[in-house]
Structure 1
């Protein structure tokens, strides 16, 4: 319980400091230490480590927000709609994260009424915000990270990784990274099972092919060092309009459009499980035309289910 209390205090302190900075205040380390009843060393660490990814700087012993980042009320209708959508999107990320985000958003919104509703089914990561910030700093600066990972309930082991992306697939949060102790093998770590994060000062380079792989991935099933292959899918006219409105994959292209409104689409995947769950979700209005073995696998699964 003491750990959670300390975490809550740290999170509240960081959010308060950022709010002050975004409001244009110039902050003294000594005064903040007195305000939060912590050491000046703790406050200095907040600025130098935990808040390093934010546009802040120190001048004449005072911490400030860089020009152009001060929070101001907005008047643009387009900006207002974007903020309304953002406000609703954070509802699904966890109660604590949502409340903090809404507090910040309220400072730049002109009204309290939001007519937009959005439903995201995401797991709550409110208890990992400080860890996420540390990982975000490592990802942005290409720093190697040492940490502990809990594989099972009572099985934790140390890992040394090159963090690439913090990603969300189907509502679950992951850290995509290269395992240095396993010949830089690409691995997906469940974010909530990462502990004791220590960012080193050793940097690494990111292969452009890895960036492309991550950007084109559909689900957590994507694979490294696997040549992407094409999957051709017939989409019934019953759902074709939805598939054209919101693509099922970044690589999706429409190959054929038929008179009845159905379409043939092609997507690229690195693993069959990137596409099979999507096909099953849309059954019976989707069918894999090529490669045949994927369609056979789906049919075999259905036979097992029907038994």
Structure 2
């Protein structure tokens, strides 16, 4: 398939999907005339859209009611983030939609993601929590040998591991799903806290905390490319590019365990400059290991 054909396919799928999303019933022949293609081509397009599309008694295509009106650029971005491909596509929402839909048609992308844990989204606990989040109902469960009552907000996949973002006595925390047991969804409802919802959306990790510590690091020229190519540290920012090709990089963390394992991985090419207490903690760990 040529690049021009790729572009036309992506544009056609994007336009069709947006029409379906707003509730339109689409006639195959009318779509064929609009896009200047055959009726058979439209039939193949609908096949590419899979289970989100159904054909009614009059032969018109509609989006399945479960999805109708619910698709947004933010939804697509969340999906892309979940499967680890968000950085492959442009940030502009219209371009993002076209690029993401383009993957349905030409197989020009091959994405090798993380290794994932065995837990699947159709497991009973996952389904129970999904329902509790949608219905805004409290849950009781065992976690770290303690019975807890939580207000569940979101199921998050971070680096291939599923977590529950929930408030415990008003404090936002994350709980690994694989460590949750004896889950019971209560009939008691709770009122979501907008501040907690906003923090979940804005943080790029599952270490939730109102207090963030800024960490300053030096990155050697030998590995600078990897830190420029994508963000390897929590909330990473490149502060300065040095004349020798190295970098000064900053990161913002909620807990030292967010960053110490990463720095250890890149030793000796990455060093902690500030804060001093974090650099000393790393040095203590290294001395204990060598001893």
TM range (shorter): 0.5 to 0.7
Asked if residue 149 in structure 1 is aligned to residue 136 in structure 2, the reply is: no
- Is 1:274 matched up with 2:258? yes
TM-superposed deviation, 1:140: 4.4
Per the TM alignment, residue 216 of structure 1 is displaced from its structure 2 partner at its CA by 2.5
2:153 maps to 1:160: no
> 1:164, CA displacement in angstroms?
2.1
Question: Which residue pairs with 2:246 in the alignment?
Answer: 262
Q: Does the alignment pair 1:189 with 2:220?
A: no
Corresponding pairs, count? 212
- What secondary structure sits across from 1:251 in the alignment? coil
Aligned-pair Cα RMSD in Å:
3.7
Q: Hey, what's the Cα distance between the residues in 2 that align with 1:271 and 1:259?
A: 32
Q: 2:163 aligns with which of 149, 168, 174?
A: 174
- Report if aligned partners of 2:133, 2:154 keep a CA contact under 8 Å in 1: yes
Secondary structure of 1:23's aligned partner: strand
Matched, 1:136 2:123: no
CA contact (8 A) 2:174 2:208 kept: no
Return the TM-score normalized by structure 1. 0.57
Aligned residue among 278, 285, 288 for 1:294: 278
Q: Extract unaligned runs of 5+ from structure 1.
A: 1-18, 27-54, 57-63, 71-81, 91-107
SS in 2 for 1:126: coil
Alignment of 1:49-60 (within 5 A): none
| Structure 1 residues 272 and 68: CA distance shift in structure 2, 3 A | closer
CA contact (8 A) 1:123 1:171 kept: yes
Q: Relative to structure 1, is the Cα distance of residues 274 and 228 closer, same or farther in structure 2, using a 3 angstrom cutoff?
A: same
Give 4+ residue runs of structure 1 displaced > 4 Å after superposition. Answer: 19-22, 64-70, 108-111
Provide the C-alpha distance between the structure 1 equivalents of 2:131 and 2:56, rounded to a whole number of angstroms: 24
- Three-state SS of the structure 2 residue aligned to 1:208 is helix
1:206 match: 193
Q: Distance in 1 between matches of 2:218 and 2:167?
A: 36
Aligned to 1:215: 202
